[in-house]
């Protein structure tokens, strides 16, 4: 076994150059308790870890923000309210939490899932102790910020949820872990067990999986809309109860709930997806809705053969941010049966449809209006509103304050002066070029009007 390597070698660390006081600190605490060695023997098998990680990696959520859990006496870890990223993988995603499944032995047969019961893949299961050991040891070395635990449904939903819950309680109470934990909810599991688990973790999530009930019925026949939305609702009520009664200690889910859906595996347009998103934010008080663009890992005649592409996912996230932080309504961003424009970001597209509202004067416009200017985000808007209390701002001031003016200059005036292009078609083409990444094309009779225009004006 792996842990047996060099067991007998135990010499002490020599840190030369330290002041004597420091050396004394380390000499004082040299005793190794036998207990340590007994505990570490529960070492997880590398292959198991590989199987269960690869099964969990398509879950998008990996944020560790929102919880400021304190370190309990004698325990390890605490929550960092802003979240911390510990590493980044070559696909550009951050590793914040140890994201694994407890087991990938599933009784369900969801069409899009690589672990569904009808496929032949290697299966594995971890015991609660194995998971706890791994988490504590990774956490100690600062590899991770906490645990993201999910599971395929083995035996029955209740049995799965019970084991997940047991793991959580063991990690918190026996191993004294106070770091961040994100737990996936198992649909159809008993409400009592779910609530018990919710009291120990920081965040829980039920994946709505697909943006409409029909698609869910077609692709994930064992999951129903009710089995996903009802527990979400009851958890959000529990959170609301704590908020109303100002409960400080032992809050249920201090980092709230999230959900995730697959984009492009079913035919719903962006407008419908965003409508659902807005409803989830309003009614379930979710912290985040994650979108995962469909990657064809599973062969099936019910699924499209090509992936949805990253641009669509990107645009949906942009629209999601507009709903949460910029005071936009879904109806303003996108009609129900439409898709978001791939050429312009949603805010630009909205501004171009509403040119009669612009330009706005930087020195007088209220915060809500500034937030609607393309290119000006929450930080820039804050900087402008703070700075203009003391001095009137001109264009150079804005540039020095690192406010991105590439897009914004067409929509603002500074001390009454306008620095953008005059005609809307010019604005349109320059915005398109500002966003596009070097996608030059040969002009033809069927080119987009904007491309044709850029050829005429010579502006790149």
Site for other proteins in 50-109 (CB under 8 A): 50, 53-54, 56-58, 71, 73-78, 80, 82, 84-96, 98-99
Q: Identify residues 216-275 at the interface with other proteins (CB under 8 A).
A: none
CA 129 – CA 70 distance, rounded (Å): 23
Q: From the list 138, 281, 418, 419, which residue makes contact with other proteins (rule: CB under 8 A)?
A: 138
Q: From the list 35, 38, 46, 445, which residue makes contact with other proteins (rule: CB under 8 A)?
A: 46
| CB of 139 vs other proteins, minimal distance in Å | 9
CA 319 – CA 428 distance, rounded (Å): 19
Closest CA to 185 of 176, 177, 194: 194
CA 449 – CA 425 distance, rounded (Å): 9
| CB of 322 vs other proteins, minimal distance in Å | 22
Q: From the list 118, 142, 301, 423, which residue makes contact with other proteins (rule: CB under 8 A)?
A: 142
CA 147 – CA 183 distance, rounded (Å): 8
Q: Is 275 helix (H, G, I), strand (E, B) or coil?
A: helix
On the CB side of 54, how many CA atoms lie within 13 Å of its CA? 13
- Residues in the interface with other proteins (CB under 8 A) total 83
Nearer to other proteins, 137 or 224 (CB): 137
Closest CA to 435 of 351, 368, 358: 351
| CB of 283 vs other proteins, minimal distance in Å | 31
* Residue 383 in the binding site for other proteins (CB under 8 A): yes
CA 458 – CA 44 distance, rounded (Å): 62
Q: Identify residues 391-410 at the interface with other proteins (CB under 8 A).
A: 391, 393, 397, 400-401
CB 112 within 8 A of CB 219: yes
| CB of 199 vs other proteins, minimal distance in Å | 23
| CB of 109 vs other proteins, minimal distance in Å | 23
Give the x-and-dash track for 177-206 against other proteins (CB under 8 A).
------------------------------
Residue partners of 295: CB distance under 8 A and separation at least 6: 58, 307
Class of residue 343 by CB neighbours under 10 A (exposed 0-12, middle 13-18, buried 19+) = middle
| CB of 53 vs other proteins, minimal distance in Å | 4
* Residue 18 in the binding site for other proteins (CB under 8 A): yes
- Report phi then psi at 76, rounded to 5: -120, 140
| CB of 72 vs other proteins, minimal distance in Å | 9
For residue 404, how many other CB atoms are within 10 A of its CB?
15
| CB of 9 vs other proteins, minimal distance in Å | 7
* Residue 125 in the binding site for other proteins (CB under 8 A): no
Q: From the list 42, 107, 298, 387, which residue makes contact with other proteins (rule: CB under 8 A)?
A: 387
CA 402 – CA 206 distance, rounded (Å): 40
Q: From the list 34, 35, 38, 40, which residue makes contact with other proteins (rule: CB under 8 A)?
A: 40
CA angle 292, 297, 303 (to 5 degrees): 80
Q: Identify residues 291-310 at the interface with other proteins (CB under 8 A).
A: 295, 297, 307, 310
């Amino acid at each position: 076994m792996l842990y047996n390597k060099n067991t007998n070698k135990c010499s002490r660390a020599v840190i030369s150059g330290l002041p004597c006081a420091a050396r004394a600190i380390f000499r004082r605490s040299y005793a190794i308790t036998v207990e340590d060695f007994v505990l570490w023997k529960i070492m997880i098998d590398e292959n198991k870890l590989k199987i269960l990680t690869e099964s969990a990696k398509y879950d998008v959520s990996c944020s560790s923000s929102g919880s400021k859990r304190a370190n309990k006496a004698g325990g390890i870890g605490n929550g960092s309210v802003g979240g911390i990223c510990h590493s980044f993988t070559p696909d550009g995603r951050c590793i914040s939490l140890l994201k694994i499944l407890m087991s990938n032995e599933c009784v369900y047969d969801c069409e899009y899932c690589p672990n569904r019961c009808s496929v032949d893949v290697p299966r594995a299961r971890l015991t609660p102790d194995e998971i706890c050991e791994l988490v504590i040891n990774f956490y100690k070395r600062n590899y991770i910020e906490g645990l993201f635990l999910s599971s395929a449904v083995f035996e029955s939903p209740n049995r799965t949820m019970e084991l997940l819950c047991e793991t959580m309680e063991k990690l918190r109470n026996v191993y004294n872990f106070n770091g961040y934990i994100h737990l996936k909810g198992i649909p159809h599991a008993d409400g009592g067990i779910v609530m018990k688990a919710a009291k120990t973790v920081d965040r829980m999530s039920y994946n709505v999986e697909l943006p409409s009930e029909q698609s869910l019925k077609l692709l994930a026949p064992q999951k129903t809309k009710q089995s996903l939305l009802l527990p979400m609702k009851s958890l959000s009520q529990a959170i609301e109860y704590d908020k109303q009664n100002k409960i400080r200690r032992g809050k249920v889910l201090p980092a709230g709930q999230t959900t995730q859906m697959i984009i492009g595996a079913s035919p719903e347009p962006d407008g419908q997806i965003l409508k659902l998103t807005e409803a989830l934010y309003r009614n379930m008080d979710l912290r985040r809705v994650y979108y995962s663009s469909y990657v064809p890992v599973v062969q099936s005649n019910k699924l499209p053969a090509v992936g949805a592409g990253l641009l669509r996912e990107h645009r949906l996230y942009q629209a999601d941010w507009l709903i949460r932080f910029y005071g936009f309504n879904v109806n303003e961003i996108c009609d129900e049966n439409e898709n978001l424009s791939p050429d312009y970001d949603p805010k630009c597209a909205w501004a171009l449809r509403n040119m009669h509202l612009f330009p706005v004067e930087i020195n007088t416009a209220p915060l809500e209006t500034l937030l609607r200017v393309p290119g000006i985000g929450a930080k820039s808007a804050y900087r402008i509103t703070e700075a203009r209390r003391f001095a009137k701002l001109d264009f150079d001031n804005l540039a020095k304050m690192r406010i991105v003016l590439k897009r914004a200059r067409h929509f603002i005036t500074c001390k009454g002066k306008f620095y953008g292009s005059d005609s809307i078609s010019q604005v349109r083409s320059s915005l398109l070029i500002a966003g596009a990444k070097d996608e030059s094309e040969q002009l033809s009779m069927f080119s987009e009007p904007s491309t044709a225009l850029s050829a005429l004006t010579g502006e790149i």
